[in-house]
Chain A
Amino acid sequence: MMTGRWLFLTVLCWLLTGMSTSAWAATNHSALLAAFCATDGNKATALEQFVEAGVSDETQDQAWARLIVDAIRNSALVCNSSGLVTIQGTPPLDAATLKTAANSNPGDSPYVPSIVMMRKLMVASAEIDLFSGQRDTRADAARQVDKSFALLDPAIITKAIKRERDPDIASVLTLAMAKRGLGSNNRADRLAAIKAVAEVPSETARTALANFVAQDSVRSDPEVLAAVQSAIAKIDTSLSFGRAFSILFSGLSYAGVLLLTALGLSIVFGLMGVINLAHGEFIMIGAYSTYLVERFMQAHMPGLFDAYIFVAIPVAFVISAVCGMLLEFFVIRFLYRRPLETLLATWAVSIALIKLVQVLFGSQNVEFVTPGFLNGGMQVSPGFFVTYNRVFAIVLALLIFLATFAVVRLTKLGLLMRATTQLRDMARCLGVAAERVDRLAFGLGAGLAGLAGVVLTQIASVNPSMGTGFVVDSFMVVVLGGAGSLLGTVVSSLALGEINQFIEPFYGAVAAKVAVLLLIVLIIQKRPQGLFALKTRV
């Protein structure tokens, strides 16, 4: 019985639309445009007309409607005072004929869609897409329509379902239609709708149901009420899981950043005992090297542009490593006996570097075009959305750490490094070329900082003074982890990252940071040598 009625309705709609469209081909486009531009006219209804054209069987109508709707979306459609309607561009087109417009008067500015209009436009173009030849286009359109089911035009969707060959797309559309049942007064429709909406739990689904349950008619109907409430409960549980995961995740990504920025320092400070206040500036140098690479590739090999981030990795490493070695050669090596002096010297270097970069690049943020594959993110589970740039940061941090660990623990350089840096004189006696090892070690530290810079270009703002923010954190991580213990660095950055992100939602970013700093200071009071330090003689 139910289905019977649906059938009847759909047939009716189809007939209507069918007639109108056939009537359509005859009437010319400019009338529509006029209707749209009419100051008193209702733009929404005008838009519906465009859509009708778009979904008609006349391909040139379709194409035209598609073009117009896009033009409106990109606020390129100009209603000239002369009555002429043009599409901005070079040359401007006459919207009706799509021929080059005679003259579009500059005084007239294009129509800028309001937010409400944008929503309508979004659905409209999706609806048009539902009739396109490409399966993928239709699939996307279907998803879009489903997302904003409240706004869709049932007649058109039914038509789409009828002619849809692909079962998946069809089912998506049917689901969307079902969701509209929330609006109906029929209990069965409502129950079906609730089921449909709750099928894929998400914030939007929750909103829909929550708004739905707010209606009196719903409250008065115990059965529906029960259904919707259990649905909401179900959604809430999965959402809260998602929320927990997201906190863990952001903790992880924060830890990744900490690890990256601290790694270089755990060598320079941890192993060599140099208080390098210019550490942050090496990070900055790394970031700016990335910037140069980006600019270069944009100019010379736009095809491979997205790969710039990977190209930047070796480049940034080398550049900052070289800077590091220069610093070591000209300043640090005279100060190994006087750690506190290295503090002052490196501070001086840092302000000079900052100013230098300011002079070269200006003090504003340099903006990066994010590689396509780092844009956006994905819904892992309801309420748990990971963004690709963070995943990238975490993964890279991990890889870089493993590499460093390998270098320090497994290679000869690593051995020499530990030897010289820990027992300077002894190593000298043993004829280790201490100077060279020191230089390499410092270079390695600086290079790692540079790598941190590369990653940060994707998740933090890049400007000459960006480094200063990271120095304190990095030192804290290293000190907490225990000087000279790479594992300690990892553990402490993990701990700090998670703690920080756990506090932040409740008390805000600053409070979290402060709390963590104080916590560290307290721990240091108890364990001056950090968490991972052996008890040794003297």
Chain B
Amino acid sequence: MKRRTFLSAVGSGLVTAAGTALPKPALAAGSTEPIKLGLLFSQSGTMANNESLLKDTALMTIDQVNAKGGVLGRQVQGVVVDPASDWPMYAQLSKQLIQRDKCAALFGCWTSVSRKSVLPVVEANDSLLFYPLHFEGEEQSKNVVYLNSPPSSSVLPAIDYLMGDQGGNAKRFYMIGSDYVWPRTINKMLKGYFKTKNIPDSALRERYVPFGQSNFQTIVREIKDFAAQPGGQAIVVMTVVGDSIPAMFKEAVNQGIRATDIPILGLDVVDSDLEGLDTKPLVGHLSCWCYFQNVDTPQNTQFKSDWKNYVTAHGLKHRPDMVIDPMVSTNLGINLWAQAVTKAKSTGTDAVRKALAGQSMVDPAGYTVKMDPSSQYLWRGDMIGSINAKQGFDILWKSKDIVKPVPYSPFIGKA
């Protein structure tokens, strides 16, 4: 087989590394050596504090799977690497995980940019990347499993709510985001959506700040200005990420903005961003995810206590009493993968992909999530959370049932 690879490669130059690298785990099925899962989460650099949460969640879940006897009678082993928040390194290490470590599948990435740098690698090697974050959508690869909602199924309901009576009939929208693909795409979609609601462009404003921007003086002043214009209630759709979130909130509070005057819908705000902030003046600002840790279900109580025990048992730096949506997504991802492998009786990409279609389970948010057979997106519930005085979110609104994921939003004019 080596020789054939050699010839064909020389002949056409079109043989992928898959030829040599991937069949291994597929063939090895039934043997007793552990099945490897690549965990591609940064433990250093700007993304470290977020992604290391997911790394440990993944390891915890793998332990749980193994505790239940592993899959196909084999133990599962997580191979941890550190891309150090350096986007090209993600591509680099994903290659290493697939080709050198022969991982059956990858779990990883937080930012879209990291996913996009891994994408060509998993496609070239025909492997699977399980991606636990909500993101801009507009993408569908047979080599990526999307565990969180695309905007059209998570963001739009929240917008609708704010435009309704309960939300205060928002008529004007100030969109402030970090300058990269996720906010840009979200806002493009929103603009398309607002058109259908006959909201004039004069009632919209779009601003972007660089990553890690911490000075929001000018922006907040502009927001106050914007809100003072006639034409109805103004709200802020905030898609800034990371360091910028607390900075933006602080400045807004300092300049006297309250949710009752100008509500802020922070699409990427999770409990961890509120750590250390005095949230009393922030009460009422909103966020929307598929899961908030205050949701009251037995599954959630279970998951939260599992996490608490795991953190304390392994003496991890994380807060034991804080669980955020991406962690839940990671957990779901690994479990669904395990189910799929068991069903397929193989770890080969194709088999797993087939088996994955239609897999379902009950998630901590209380919904029965299920994998969309066509798009490889996960059907999940949707929630709107309202910041409370206790640095957390109260659940303001829940979708009745799981929402159909729409990868390609109809509101984004295709170029």
Contacts and interface: CB of A to CB of B under 8 A. Distances in A.
Determine whether A and B are in direct contact in the complex, meaning some CB atoms lie less than 8 angstroms apart: yes
Interface of A: 74-75, 106-107, 109-110, 112-116, 118-119, 122, 148, 203-204, 206-207, 210-211, 213-214, 243, 246, 250, 253-254, 358, 362-370, 375-377, 385, 387-390, 459-461, 463, 465, 469, 501, 504-505, 508-510
B224 A203 contact: yes
Contacts of A508: 207-209
Interface string B160-196: 0010011110000000000100000000000000000
Given A250-B217, A253-B217, A109 B263 contact: no
B78 interface: no
Nearest to B394: A112
Contacts of B217: 250, 253, 387, 390
A45 to B, nearest CB: 15
A118 B46 contact: no
Nearest to B317: A362
A461 B246 contact: yes
Contacts of A122: 260
Contacts of B277: 367
A486 to B, nearest CB: 25
A370 B396 CA distance: 29
B75 interface: no
Contact of A116 (B165, B207, B213): B165
Contact of A377 (B209, B214, B254, B283): B254
Given A112-B396, A377-B255, A358 B246 contact: no
B296 interface: yes
B284 A115 contact: yes
A475 to B, nearest CB: 20
Contacts of A206: 228
A377 B218 contact: no
B401 interface: no
B247 A387 contact: no
B228 A203 contact: yes
B230 A214 contact: yes
Nearest to A108: B296
A115 B263 contact: yes
A399 to B, nearest CB: 22
B254 A387 contact: yes
Interface of B: 44-46, 48-49, 162, 165-168, 179, 207-210, 212-215, 217-218, 221-222, 224-225, 227-232, 243, 246-247, 250-251, 253-256, 259-261, 263, 275-278, 283-284, 294, 296, 317, 386, 388-389, 394-396
A509 B10 CA distance: 52
A206 B254 CA distance: 21
Nearest to A362: B317
A250 B215 CA distance: 10
A389 B255 CA distance: 11
Given A110-B394, A387-B254, A461 B230 contact: no
A253 B311 CA distance: 42
Contact of A459 (B168, B215, B218, B296): B215
B265 to A, nearest CB: 10
13 contacts: A112-B388, A114-B396, A115-B162, A119-B168, A119-B260, A148-B260, A204-B261, A243-B221, A362-B48, A363-B44, A365-B246, A375-B253, A377-B254
- Chain B contact residues: over half helix, strand or loop, or mixed? loop
B166 A114 contact: yes
Given A112-B395, A246-B221, A509-B215, A375 B254 contact: yes
B243 A461 contact: yes
A371 to B, nearest CB: 11
A136 to B, nearest CB: 19
Contact of B388 (A75, A250, A370, A501): A75
A370 to B, nearest CB: 7
B229 A210 contact: yes
A250 B221 CA distance: 11
A204 B228 contact: yes
A369 B276 CA distance: 7
Contacts of A118: 259-260, 283-284
A277 B340 CA distance: 52
Contacts of B283: 118
Contacts of A385: 221, 224, 255-256
A213 B231 CA distance: 11
A112 B253 contact: no
Contacts of A510: 179, 209-210
A461 B214 contact: yes
B395 A109 contact: yes
A363 B296 CA distance: 32
A250 B395 contact: no
A51 to B, nearest CB: 17
Contact of A368 (B224, B276, B284, B296): B276
B46 A363 contact: yes
A148 B261 CA distance: 10
Given A364-B48, A508-B207, A510-B210, A114 B256 contact: no
B170 to A, nearest CB: 9
Nearest to B45: A363
A112 B218 contact: no
B216 to A, nearest CB: 9
B44 A107 contact: no
Nearest to A458: B250
